[in-house]
Amino acid sequence: MSLTLFCLHNPRVPISTVEQGAEAILNLAVSPALAGRSGLYFNGLREARAHAQVDDTEARRRLRRLSLELTGLADD
């Protein structure tokens, strides 16, 4: 399958192919170098820093509220 994901803000910029995405997921699942490690963020195959909004409590609250509203799910 020859598909490529593109950046939403600039559709001319390729992000990754399906094969590259699959490789990254498989690496996270089976890599001995990552065994026993959690709470990490990755950009493809490279360890990366999470976006600053990860630590923004209000941003997380707004995202949860909007997600529940859009999906029609109840807040448990």
Enumerate the domain spans of the chain: 4-71
Tell me the CA distances in angstroms from 16 to 23, 25, 29, 69, one per residue in order.
11, 13, 19, 31
Q: What is the pLDDT of residues 26-67, one digit of tens each?
A: 999 999 999 999 989 898 899 999 888 888 999 999 999 999
Question: What confidence score (pLDDT) does residue 36 get?
Answer: 93
Question: What confidence score (pLDDT) does residue 35 get?
Answer: 94
Question: What confidence score (pLDDT) does residue 7 get?
Answer: 60
Question: What confidence score (pLDDT) does residue 58 get?
Answer: 94
Question: What confidence score (pLDDT) does residue 66 get?
Answer: 94
* pLDDT for residue 1 is more than 70: no
